[in-house]
Structure 1
Amino acid sequence: MKSLYHFNKSTTLSIGFVIFGVLVRLVQYLNNRSLWFDEANLALNIVNRSYLQLLSPLENNQAAPPGFLWIEKLSIQVFGNTEYALRLFPFLAGIVSLLALFIFAERYASRWAAPIAIALFSSLPYIVYYGTELKQYSSDIMIALLLSLLLVPVRYKILNKRQIIVFFVIGGIAIWISHPAIFTLGGLELAYLITTPKQQRKALLFNRIPIYLTWLFSFGCLYFLTISNTLNNDNLVDSWKARYPQSILDILWLLDALGRFFYRPLGFIGIIDGVAILAFIVGCVACYRRNRIIFMSLTAPVITTLIASYLHKYPFRERLILFLVPFFLILIAEGVIFLISQTTQPQTTQPKKWVKRFGIFVLVALLIHPITNSTSIIFKPELKQEFRPILEYVKSNQQPGDKIYVYFKGMSHMKYYAPKLGYSQTDYILGTYELPDEGEILPAEWQRYQQEFEPFRGQKRVWIIFRVDDSEEETLLSYLNQIGRQVDIYKQKGAFVSLYDLSS
């Protein structure tokens, strides 16, 4: 184990990447982009419900831990109903995660693996993105890292009464803030119990039974109060059903799930995906040979999550397993350092030299895109669905008697932003139908879309708001251009509004 306070070149480099990661997230947070579809749906639940009502199944096909929802509710009550307040906790969780990974990697990773893991964590696109989104995935990462920092140092120790109280309180609360916290808690503790020397196992088990019972009780309450009700949402459950293995022997699913992890949520693209997988495999071998306990600590949460997926209880896919990213990154970094650190020997000069050069290539290949992408965010923060400036434009240019129609895809955005700009529900009409995004549009579908605008025929000024991509603009406006005249159009990323004269 390295001393956290021994500041060498690698530690200084790690600190530099932490600062870089904080800067990227701060710039993206301060950019204050509009809520996108999923965020708006979750925000409506948070804004319109009481703390007790947030225990009930959420509307709009949303699911989130009640602890996370309560923190969000408190945030808007203290700081106001704004995007800044709604994204404050995910943003702070992202910053805490950076610091937690710095401490964890400096303690338990090899010397130069730490700055590589932190560099990747600071800059990989999905991690940066979820660090400023109104979703629980940023806090999932934070909870996983904080629990690891808590449990790894005391893996085989007999805890005193004060420590026992601290552990069952922290673990019990973490379960309510982060759904996958149970996989980190259960995975680490189970791994340590299994590997404890036989003569010490009984004492360790009896010492920690109060902690385990408290965690189980906390999770049981969470399950029966919220999770079991969420599982009754067929749309939500069906959306993940295809992501589960077919049977306990479905090895192809396992290989596919692990392979997909490097594309999303890790975010490696193209051939770099394969490079990252290779580095991960090498890192697993290198870490296992260097310190089996640390290797087990990094892989135990992964294994318990996979077991839950085989039991069809938790999908091992995409953003739901973002909390596992730090553990994967440390193993990837260990693989890179193992390749680079190969020293030459007289009888094997060429092979060793080749391995070292390949290791340098792997390092550059893994870092170049994330660092470049994150650096660009500092100068040009990312936008997604800028509905707020669209509605502000309508508000500032609207005349008495104007009508407002919102295409179906913008319904959640309108419900959230309209009250903030002084609109009541009678001031606009929400669409009830959307054309299919892909494939040929059938005559019946086209006719159903056309019926959306029948109430506005004969109106002089109709503002028609679309929350869609640019590729859909021509199709959506083609019918309106047949029945009326476009007077004005205003566009933003992922949304636009057209003013039409439909009086003729």
Structure 2
Amino acid sequence: MEIIKNKKLYLPDFQFLFDKPILPFLIIAFGVAMRLIQYLANRSLWADEAVLALNIVNRSYLELLQPLDYDQGAPIGFLMVEKLAVQILGNNEYALRLFPLICGVGSLFVFYELAKKWIPKSAIPIGLILFASLGYLVYYSAEVKQYSSDVAIALLLYLLLLPLVQQKLNLGQIIKYSLVGAIAIWFSHPSIFILASIGGSALLINFWHKDLSKVKKLLLIYSVWILSFVMFYFVSLRNLTGNETLTTSWGDGFPGSPFDIIWMLDAFGKFFYKPLGFSKWVDGLAILAFLVGCLSCWLSRKKILFLLLSPLFMTFLASFLHQYPFRSRLVLFLTPFVIFLIAEGGSFILTKSKSRPIKIISIFLIILLLRQPLAKAIDLIEEPLNYSDIKPVLSYIKKHQQPGDILYVYQRGIYQFQYYAEKYGYQEGDYIIGVDDLDKYDGQELSITEMTRYEKDLDKLRGNKRVWLLFSHTHIPAERRFLNYYLNEIGIRIDTFEKPG
């Protein structure tokens, strides 16, 4: 009998997978499918979308240059594209969400192009899987908001303007790069931080190499960007920074003092939960991979690390100056740069692990890191995200409403209702808008004054034989409980129809 000694446990070498040219395109196809599924679900506009949609639909192109109603803010270029889509394709959800979808799909391809330039081949599949499947990146690709286009424009600026860092510049390139940056400012508010990051990096590198001729050309390009920004500020941005309701709503997006490092660390930690979308303990694993990715880049490609981190530094600087909040969806445009470094860290852990136990643990950790976003993305196939499905509720009311019935619309749902009212045959006078809350004055909780205010408003409905009450966006539990309690005191519920939100 032959005895085999020192037989080693076979561990798969994932390099053969990374070498497959079709793999990145399969991942991109998966990302496109996820975004299309969310888009084609054609969910109802929820409150945040409806307020912006009302501005787009009810205003002319020229009127979109003026401060928006309902304390809204969006880049002028984005608003113009949305208005054009509605004019060509009609006033519907598909038209309003088409530009965000195009940006969401296009950003997958731009991400891949940058990944080939910035991170190792073994890191590209990790980065692409995360970028294709992370929930908020998928969701905002079908939302009537500018966050998907912010991501696409941030990536596109890096792709188009990277030659500024090293390439010699001729007159044609100076004009091209000047126009690219100047136009981007009008389509994306955070593009200012991206331009500052790329521009600052190029300037520092060329100063370091003492290429003064290149520095002069760069300053000429930047002067065009600054001129465009100044014009944009006086046309649009000044109105946003002066809007007290907006700045109050941003709340914890700003530090308490210029030296509040604890706030910065906390804000960056929360960034991995939202907008990146890692939950429970997986966000800790993502942070670890990010730090390892930073170390890997520092050891081998310091210039790339500087380019990837500079948008983060610029955005934090703006937050410390109380000019831009560092919170949730407003910093979605930073997600691809952090994902690049997470992928870099994941690749480093996989490829540098030599001992068998460490290799096994590394593979297991990367699987855990990718499993959560993939599982959540696949869940979208069965049940696309739907915050506030008002359309079937309106259909139900319209179908069962009888002559003489009163329709009362709860005040937090008025913008959704106003967007859909005409589509369901409601004209002014066919419904009652509920009394406004006092949140601007007494915060987001239910106060005694608000309770009295709601009681008086609902008391006006007494004496009617049948009243329909449409509730939407009831996101304050205490308020919802009180309204249900009081309505049961003054009337008898004979029917209920509910949908999500």
**TM-score, with structure 2 as normaliser:** 0.91
Select the residue among 295, 298, 314 that pairs with 2:308: 298
AA aligned opposite 2:418? K
Q: Name the structure 1 match of 2:4.
A: none
Range with greater deviation from structure 2 (244-253 or 141-150): 244-253
AA aligned opposite 2:403? P
Select the residue among 295, 300, 314 that pairs with 1:285: 295
1:475 CA drift (Å): 4.3
1:483 CA drift (Å): 2.3
Q: Name the structure 1 match of 2:190.
A: 180
Report whether the alignment pairs 1:447 with 2:452: yes
AA aligned opposite 2:98? L
1 CA distance for matches of 2:209 and 2:157?
27
2 CA distance for matches of 1:469 and 1:259?
29
Select the residue among 377, 382, 395 that pairs with 1:392: 395
Conserved? CA contact 2:389–2:499, under 8 Å: yes
Q: Name the structure 2 match of 1:260.
A: 270
Conserved? CA contact 2:241–2:323, under 8 Å: no
AA aligned opposite 1:456? L
Would the alpha carbon gap of residues 196 and 424 (structure 1) be closer, same or farther in structure 2, given more than 3 Å must change?
Answer: same
Would the alpha carbon gap of residues 353 and 153 (structure 1) be closer, same or farther in structure 2, given more than 3 Å must change?
Answer: farther
Q: Show CA shifts across 1:372-411 (max 9, x none).
A: 1111111221211011221122122222222110011111
2 CA distance for matches of 1:331 and 1:194?
22
Q: Name the structure 2 match of 1:366.
A: 369
AA aligned opposite 1:402? D
Select the residue among 57, 60, 69 that pairs with 2:67: 57
Range with greater deviation from structure 2 (433-442 or 466-475): 433-442
2 CA distance for matches of 1:481 and 1:452?
15
Conserved? CA contact 1:11–1:106, under 8 Å: no
Conserved? CA contact 1:435–1:446, under 8 Å: no
2 CA distance for matches of 1:435 and 1:108?
50
2 CA distance for matches of 1:453 and 1:100?
53
1:288 CA drift (Å): 2.1
2 CA distance for matches of 1:282 and 1:85?
42
Q: Name the structure 2 match of 1:476.
A: 483
1 CA distance for matches of 2:191 and 2:357?
42
Conserved? CA contact 2:412–2:474, under 8 Å: no
Please provide the CA RMSD for this pair.
Answer: 2.2
2 CA distance for matches of 1:474 and 1:247?
38
1 CA distance for matches of 2:130 and 2:139?
13
Report whether the alignment pairs 1:43 with 2:53: yes
Conserved? CA contact 1:57–1:229, under 8 Å: yes
**Paired residues, what number?**
481
2 CA distance for matches of 1:296 and 1:280?
14
Report whether the alignment pairs 1:208 with 2:211: no
1:441 CA drift (Å): 5.7
1:440 CA drift (Å): 8.7
Conserved? CA contact 1:144–1:184, under 8 Å: yes
AA aligned opposite 1:463? W
Would the alpha carbon gap of residues 246 and 438 (structure 1) be closer, same or farther in structure 2, given more than 3 Å must change?
Answer: closer
Select the residue among 451, 454, 461 that pairs with 1:456: 461
Select the residue among 305, 310, 318 that pairs with 1:308: 318
Select the residue among 118, 126, 129 that pairs with 1:119: 129
2 CA distance for matches of 1:293 and 1:134?
36
Instruction: Report the 3-state secondary structure (helix = DSSP H, G, I; strand = E; otherwise coil) of the residue aligned with 1:404.
Output: strand
Q: Name the structure 2 match of 1:490.
A: 497
Q: Name the structure 1 match of 2:426.
A: 423
Range with greater deviation from structure 2 (358-367 or 178-187): 358-367
Instruction: Report the 3-state secondary structure (helix = DSSP H, G, I; strand = E; otherwise coil) of the residue aligned with 1:384.
Output: coil
Instruction: Report the 3-state secondary structure (helix = DSSP H, G, I; strand = E; otherwise coil) of the residue aligned with 1:405.
Output: strand
Q: Show CA shifts across 1:8-47 (max 9, x none).
A: 6354222111111110110110001011111111111111
Q: Name the structure 2 match of 1:93.
A: 103
2 CA distance for matches of 1:441 and 1:383?
26
2 CA distance for matches of 1:488 and 1:435?
30
Would the alpha carbon gap of residues 290 and 483 (structure 1) be closer, same or farther in structure 2, given more than 3 Å must change?
Answer: same
2 CA distance for matches of 1:46 and 1:441?
32
Report whether the alignment pairs 1:375 with 2:378: yes
AA aligned opposite 2:498? K
Range with greater deviation from structure 2 (46-55 or 433-442): 433-442
Select the residue among 10, 18, 22 that pairs with 2:28: 18
2 CA distance for matches of 1:198 and 1:480?
71
Report whether the alignment pairs 1:195 with 2:205: yes
AA aligned opposite 1:492? K
Instruction: Report the 3-state secondary structure (helix = DSSP H, G, I; strand = E; otherwise coil) of the residue aligned with 2:277.
Output: coil
Instruction: Report the 3-state secondary structure (helix = DSSP H, G, I; strand = E; otherwise coil) of the residue aligned with 1:489.
Output: coil
Range with greater deviation from structure 2 (311-320 or 150-159): 150-159
Select the residue among 404, 413, 417 that pairs with 2:416: 413
Instruction: Report the 3-state secondary structure (helix = DSSP H, G, I; strand = E; otherwise coil) of the residue aligned with 2:325.
Output: coil
Give matches, 1:155-174, under 5 Å. Answer: 155-174=165-184
Instruction: Report the 3-state secondary structure (helix = DSSP H, G, I; strand = E; otherwise coil) of the residue aligned with 1:120.
Output: helix
Report whether the alignment pairs 1:235 with 2:238: no
Instruction: Report the 3-state secondary structure (helix = DSSP H, G, I; strand = E; otherwise coil) of the residue aligned with 2:485.
Output: helix
Report whether the alignment pairs 1:135 with 2:145: yes
2 CA distance for matches of 1:233 and 1:440?
22
Range with greater deviation from structure 2 (468-477 or 187-196): 468-477
2 CA distance for matches of 1:448 and 1:241?
26
Unmatched runs of 5 consecutive residues or more in structure 2: 1-16
Would the alpha carbon gap of residues 469 and 447 (structure 1) be closer, same or farther in structure 2, given more than 3 Å must change?
Answer: closer
Conserved? CA contact 2:435–2:454, under 8 Å: no
**TM-score, with structure 1 as normaliser:** 0.90
2 CA distance for matches of 1:248 and 1:405?
48
Unmatched runs of 5 consecutive residues or more in structure 1: 1-6, 345-351, 495-504
Conserved? CA contact 1:10–1:114, under 8 Å: no
1:85 CA drift (Å): 0.8
2 CA distance for matches of 1:11 and 1:189?
33
1:173 CA drift (Å): 1.0
